[in-house]
Structure formats: C-alpha cells, structure tokens
Amino acid sequence: MSAEIISGTKMRQEILDELKKEVDEMKAKTGKVPGLVTILVGETPASVSYVTLKIKTAKSLGFHEIQDTQSVDITEEDLLALIEKYNTDPEIHGILIQLPLPKHIDDNKVLNAINPDKDVDGFHPVNVGRIMIGGDEAIFPPCTPAGIQEMIVRSGTETSGAEVVVVGRSNIVGKPIAIMMAQKGVGANSTVTIVHTRTKDLAGHCKRADILIVAAGVPDLVKPEWIKPGSTVIDVGVNRVGMNEKTGKAILKGDVDFEAAKEICGKITPVPGGVGPMTITMLMKNTVKSAWKHFGGK
C-alpha cells in the first residue's frame, strides 16, 4: 500500500487560517497587530522573490509589514543603526535580514545585532541557546525545523520513544531539529541519532528510524532499502535537477527516492509541496508569538 502523503501546502493553509483568527483576536483585545520588517540589501532576484513572498503572507494575515530595501552599497555601520531603529520600534515584533549580505558586511555581526526578542528567524545565538534549554525558554524555534516538527505532529506520527534519525548536521536544519526532537514535550521525547558525511553505516542507521528526517542536499541519497516499513519520512532536501523546457521552471527533487520510498514507508513528505511551504508559515507563527509576548501575553 502506498504511503500517506503529508502535504505542506495543505498544512500551510490550515496554519495560516489559525493565525489569521489569532491576529483578529489580538486586534480585538489589544487594538494592535503583529509587526514584521524584512530588510533586504541589494536586489538579487532570488532574495527579492523570497522577501516578496514573506511580505505577501504577512499582509494576508493583517500584519503591519515593512519591506525595507537598502542599497547594495550600505555600510555595515548604517545597517547596524537601521537594525537598532527597529529593535526599539514598539510597532515591530519581528526583524528579518534576508541573506546573503554583500561581502563587505559581516553576516554574523548583523544577525547578532537583532534584539533576540524580535529574532523570529531564531538564528541569534541567544535563541539557539534557548532551543538547547527547551521548554518555555524555546520561544523562537528556527523556521524550517519548526515546520518539520509541526508536520510530524499534525500527521499524527507518534514521537515519544520513537527512533529519529536526522541526516545532516547544518546549523539551520540538522542540528536544531535533532535537539528539538530530543527535548521533553509534545512532538518530541524521541531518541535521536544525527548522521552525516563521516558516518560509517548511513544505511544501517536509517533502517532503524521510525522517523527519518533527511536534510543533506543530495538528490536521491536515501535508497528505498534504507527505509523502515511503516516509518514517517520527512524529506527536507530541495535539489534543482534540471529545467522544465515548457514552463522554464526548475525541476526539483528531494534527498529521498520518493517514488520507491512511498511504497515502503507509512507517511512521506513530497518535494516540492512538503517542508518548503512550512518555513514561511512558521516565520509568521513566530511573529504572532513575539507580538503576544510584547503585548504581555494572550
């Protein structure tokens, strides 16, 4: 029997509908709405399209949103001053810096200048530390791992005591999702193994996984025979493997051989339409959370 497909596109809509209701409730209660600023330096087409999508989503939820586009020549000092302006702006609860930044600007210096209580991307070392501590401390989980965990929970996958194998140890996906799944709490309490390029028996580890999370960036890395029957497979990989000549759009593939895997596992996320749509959604969720926190709670 073919696996249940966990659709990120469908879940995104469910979550956005819930968030819209929450924003309406916030407005009725406080007279205010969440505020999100995205800072874009230069106009690289890919960055412009990401920022546009973020702002469009924020607008659809009724946020106060600002797209602040700066010249590619902005000095690091001026960029830091701009961040400080938003750090102290009471109408703003989330600050996003679209990466990559031009070479003359130090990414880390800029990201670390964001007030951790407005860091809705969850990249500030303070928020990374909070994720490590877990519980109520973990206010801004980074958006892709948060989306992965949300998909696991909403698909009804049991996580407590489950063997979770995470392929990849990046700072934005592998490491944080591994920590989050091992914490106490809903959608967690799992036994976690992280595997990577130096792992000796990748297949052997994957075969034990009740929940297999793959974020390696290698098309079809995970073979069907590595998959435990009935398991849940979350494919984070987004690999451009060609171009559709009719549409002019890139052909995308995940890190898992989807067609073969879906005949073995119990649940699986597709690429595209799986984890991808969840990332911006979780950014919106973090911004709503931040706004409530700034308004003193629900």
Q: Are 256 and 220 in contact (CB under 8 A)?
A: yes
Which region, judged by CB under 6 A, interacts with ligand NAD, from 53-61, 63-71, 161-169, 181-189?
Answer: 161-169
119 is a catalytic site residue: no
* Identity of the residue numbered 133: I
Kindly determine how many residues on this chain lie close enough to bind ligand NAD according to the rule CB under 6 A: 23
Query: Considering the rule CB under 6 A, would residue 238 count as an interface residue with ligand NAD?
Result: yes
Residue ranges in 167-296 assigned as alpha helix (H): 174-182, 202-207, 258-261, 276-294
Query: Considering the rule CB under 6 A, would residue 36 count as an interface residue with ligand NAD?
Result: no
The residue count for the chain: 298
> Taking the complex as a whole, how short is the minimal distance between the CB of residue 148 and ligand NAD, in angstroms?
9
Angstrom CA distances, 129 to 15, 125, 188, stand at 26, 6, 18
Which region, judged by CB under 6 A, interacts with ligand NAD, from 31-39, 48-56, 83-91, 213-221?
Answer: 213-221
Per CB under 6 A, which of residues 267..286 are in contact with ligand NAD? 275-276, 279
Which region, judged by CB under 6 A, interacts with ligand NAD, from 40-48, 57-65, 89-97, 211-219?
Answer: 211-219
Query: Considering the rule CB under 6 A, would residue 15 count as an interface residue with ligand NAD?
Result: no
Residue 256 DSSP symbol: B
The number of beta carbons lying within 10 Å of the beta carbon of residue 46 is 9
> Taking the complex as a whole, how short is the minimal distance between the CB of residue 250 and ligand NAD, in angstroms?
12
Cβ-based burial of 218 (10 A; exposed 0-12, middle 13-18, buried ≥19): middle
Query: Considering the rule CB under 6 A, would residue 196 count as an interface residue with ligand NAD?
Result: yes
Task: Name the residue among 206, 115, 187 with its Cα closest to residue 146.
Answer: 187
Token pair in block for residue 26: 């916030």
121 is a catalytic site residue: yes
> Taking the complex as a whole, how short is the minimal distance between the CB of residue 249 and ligand NAD, in angstroms?
16
- Please give the backbone phi and psi of residue 183, each rounded to the nearest 5 degrees, phi first: -70, 165
149 is a catalytic site residue: no
Query: Considering the rule CB under 6 A, would residue 217 count as an interface residue with ligand NAD?
Result: yes
Query: Considering the rule CB under 6 A, would residue 172 count as an interface residue with ligand NAD?
Result: yes
Token pair in block for residue 194: 């992280």
Token pair in block for residue 259: 């067609």
Which region, judged by CB under 6 A, interacts with ligand NAD, from 13-21, 93-101, 125-133, 195-203?
Answer: 195-203
Give 155's contacts (C-beta < 8 A, 6+ positions apart): 4, 6, 232, 267
How far, in Å, CA of 274 to CA of 152, rounded?
11
> Taking the complex as a whole, how short is the minimal distance between the CB of residue 240 and ligand NAD, in angstroms?
9
> Taking the complex as a whole, how short is the minimal distance between the CB of residue 238 and ligand NAD, in angstroms?
4
When the beta carbons of 59 and 240 are compared against ligand NAD, the nearer one is 240
* Residues tagged active-site: 54, 98, 121
The residues that touch ligand NAD, with contacts defined as CB under 6 A, are 144, 167-170, 172-174, 196-197, 202, 215-218, 221, 236-239, 275-276, 279
